[in-house]
């Protein structure tokens, strides 16, 4: 059951424990406060008392869980959780935000992003854009029944940047998941603060042209760094330069190789990238 909840809410094991604690403490606080309020009325326990108690705790519960969520570090989760409940109760139609994933390689991050939004009709993955006809991400797209766009460099860099195809798919957000070409200014201007990238190191170190994959990890090891990690950032006109959204770290040991360090970094990518994207598109 706990594993199903963790998958449904897309949280880590630690966060799941804190969320359950918030529910429990918030519920207890709500019940306690409801009884105290009813004591002030002087009513004897009965049908009217029971009806009023239900109404009071229904009104108090969101306030109580939000209060408890703050010290337990789960405010963001419960804010979204309560918003979803309100939308369902009011039958409020959710805004649709369409995503295009740009990828050049195997597509492990793309798969995690697809998994994160599976079944969420408010955030469709409408397009996979790829510059490599042999990339594994194209197989993922075929398996997931997601349309693909195979691009060539001259048109992408110097032509119309395929903006017509992006508009045709009504793309709202562009997510880079191992995409190795620089994004041209024309696309950046068309999608201001709507293009997000993940870099396998702690920027501003080990970024820039040519710094990708094992080259980054080898540079970190050669510099004898004690830690590495990921940087999720907005994309601007300069390689690996845009405003940082989140960084997460992992240790670098003397025994690490580019492959072992890559495995640590990939683990961070798969945990944080889909979650951050969900936060950004649902703001």
Active site residues: 199
Exposed, middle or buried by CB within 10 Å (0-12, 13-18, 19+), for 203? buried
Strand partners, 99: 125, 173
Q: 227: part of which helix (H) or strand (E)?
A: strand 227-234
Rounded CA gap, 252 and 226, in Å?
5
Q: Which residues contact 59 (CB under 8 A, 6 or more apart)?
A: none
Cis peptide before 204 (omega within 30 of 0): yes
Q: Which residues contact 227 (CB under 8 A, 6 or more apart)?
A: 202, 249, 250, 251, 252
């Amino acid at each position: 059951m706990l594993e199903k909840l963790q998958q449904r809410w897309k949280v880590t094991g630690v966060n799941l424990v804190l969320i359950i604690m918030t529910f429990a403490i918030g519920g207890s606080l709500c019940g306690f406060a409801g009884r105290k309020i009813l004591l002030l009325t002087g009513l004897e326990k009965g049908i009217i008392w029971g009806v009023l108690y239900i109404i009071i705790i229904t009104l108090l519960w969101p306030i109580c869980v939000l209060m408890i969520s703050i010290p337990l570090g789960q405010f963001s989760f419960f804010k979204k959780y309560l918003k979803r409940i309100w939308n369902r109760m009011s039958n409020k139609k959710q805004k649709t935000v369409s995503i295009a994933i740009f990828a050049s390689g195997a597509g492990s991050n793309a798969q995690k992003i697809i998994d994160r939004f599976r079944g969420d009709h408010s955030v469709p993955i409408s397009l996979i854009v790829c510059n490599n006809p042999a990339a594994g991400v194209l197989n993922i797209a075929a398996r997931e029944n997601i349309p693909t766009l195979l691009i060539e460099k001259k048109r992408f860099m110097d032509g119309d940047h395929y903006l017509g195809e992006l508009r045709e798919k009504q793309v709202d957000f562009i997510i880079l998941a191992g995409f190795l070409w620089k994004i041209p200014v024309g696309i950046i201007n068309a999608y201001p603060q709507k293009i997000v990238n993940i870099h396998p190191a702690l920027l501003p170190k080990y970024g820039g042209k040519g710094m990708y994959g094992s080259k980054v990890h080898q540079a970190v090891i050669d510099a004898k760094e004690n830690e590495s990690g990921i940087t999720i950032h907005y994309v601007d006109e300069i390689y690996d330069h845009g405003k940082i959204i989140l960084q997460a770290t992992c240790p670098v040991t003397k025994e690490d190789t580019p492959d072992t360090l890559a495995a640590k970094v990939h683990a961070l990518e798969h945990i944080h990238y889909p979650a951050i994207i969900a936060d950004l598109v649902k703001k």
